[in-house]
Amino acid sequence: MDFGKTIARAKAILASPRTEWPVAAAEPASIGGLYTSYIIWIAALPAIAGFIKGSLIGTGFLGVVVRTPVGAGIGGMVLQYLLSLAVAYVMALIINALAGTFNGQKDMVQALKTVAYSWTAAWIAGIAVIIPWIGWLIALAGGIYSIYLLYVGLPFTMKCPPEKAGGYTALSVVIAIVLSWIVGLIVAGVIGTAAYTGAAMSGVHLGSASGDNVTVDPNSALGKLAAMGQRAEQASKELDAAQKSGDSAAQQAAMGKMMGAAMGNDGTVQALSTDQVKAFLPDTLLGLKRTGSSAQRTNAMGMQVTEAHAEYGDGNGRNLTLEVTDMGTAKGLMAMAGAMAPEEEKSTDHGYEKTYTADGRLTHESWDDQSKNGEYSVVVGQRFTVKANGNASSIDDLKQAVASVDIAKLEAMKNEGVAQH
């Protein structure tokens, strides 16, 4: 087993799919070989991440961290993993069976290649579920990008005419949603918690269809993904050239452009400085004095994020935390995921939690009447997040805390540091 080849294939199919798909399609392979050299390793990533999130880290709800018992978590992880391997094969069977409908060529090995490599983005992005709240946006984007990879790959693996790829993709995605939903129900029955699957694909709209002739609307999600993929491919070429040149400055700039393209940006995004973000935190909050504050700006592999937070208290047990975050390079991803985000609401006898869109802003809130503890956060300008959490008299206090930030000024800065290519 050559893990180097597995990693190289995953990287290439994500960064330059239009050049990697014909290479992958031409390689000799077998069903067993695809599983042992690629699928069983990449497909394990989201299952392991789900176990870490559910049983080791836990899920915060109304101020309480809930963890799935380790035994049940392991059982769910193994079942999810095995079912994902089975579903990959079933999807390959379906894609192979549909080939004739879209003037393609049936070939089971090529069909399994199609599934394995197009699902790479979703499998890898599934790791992000361990990140609190915002992580599901990354997982969502991975699922969406997998649809684009499928769309690009079908003409190479299944030999369908390019103009038929839209319809082929659409029908395959619908079937994949149903299968994912079924798997989610089965896994939820084992670990005793709801599984949220299929959402990554539910917001996709294709162009009009007549018979099996399908055109893709360039303004639809799939059309935008095509443009996103082209930018990522071009950025990948520039990164390769910069690496060969040995110029560290050029390499850093190319890496930034590559990350920006992968995150859905038509250019690079420089996150705001710590001083700029920290300036949005008030000295007092709902009559409480600021007892401490901090800010940090990270820049790893071209991914820039700036976060500032402050604590407020009265010394008598009443404490609130206010956070302002510039997602920086993930700006495009935030915009795409926010536009497709499903609404969700759950409640108990003494509280609730819900995610929804209000005034065009993705909003999350939770509240526990017993502990008088909650959280309220909004996405501003499809780039920034503002969050307040802690002890309060009601959720309205947390909403007022968020409103204490100059939201209009923050939103006006949504394009600061953005350089178009």
- Give residue limits of the domains in the chain: 3-216, 274-420
Output the pLDDT for position 135: 67
Integer Cα distance of 220 and 205 in angstroms: 6
Number of neighbours of residue 3 by Cβ within 10 angstroms: 9
Instruction: Tell me the pTM.
Output: 0.50
- Residue stretches of the chain with pLDDT short of 50: 61-64, 185-187, 189-216, 221-222, 301
Give the pLDDT confidence score for residue 192 in this predicted structure: 43
Nearest to 202 by CA among 134, 143, 133: 143
| pLDDT for position 320 | 92
| Cα–Cα nearest to 204, from 174, 182, 241 | 174
SS3 309: strand
Tokens 């042992």 belong to residue: 36
- Nearest C-alpha neighbor of 300 from the set 328, 266, 331: 328
In the chain, the largest separation of any two C-alpha atoms, in whole Å, equals 72
Residues 6+ away with beta carbon under 8 Å from 114: 92, 95, 150, 153, 154, 157, 158
Exposed, middle or buried: residue 240 (CB in 10 Å: 0-12, 13-18, 19+)? middle
- In this prediction, residue 21 carries a pLDDT of 96
The residues that bridge with 296 in the sheet, in sequence order, are: 307
- Please report the pLDDT score of residue 197 as a whole number: 34
What integer pLDDT is reported at residue 258 of this predicted model? 56
**Average per-residue pLDDT in the chain?**
76
Q: Spell out where 301-402 has E strands.
A: 303-313, 319-326, 344-348, 351-358, 361-368, 373-380, 384-391
pLDDT of residue 274: 92
Q: Are strands 267-269 and 418-420 parallel, antiparallel or unpaired?
A: antiparallel
Q: Which residues pair with 420 in a beta bridge?
A: 267
Contact at 8 Å (CB) between 146 and 228?
no
Residues with Cβ within 8 Å of 325's Cβ and at least 6 positions away in sequence, in order, are 277, 305, 306, 307, 308, 384, 385, 386, 387
Measured CA to CA, the distance from residue 310 to residue 13 in angstroms comes to: 42
Distance CA 286, CA 284 (A): 7
CB 252 within 8 A of CB 269: no
Q: What are phi and psi of 363, to 5 degrees?
A: -130, 140
Please, are residues 98 and 171 in contact by the beta-carbon 8 Å criterion? yes
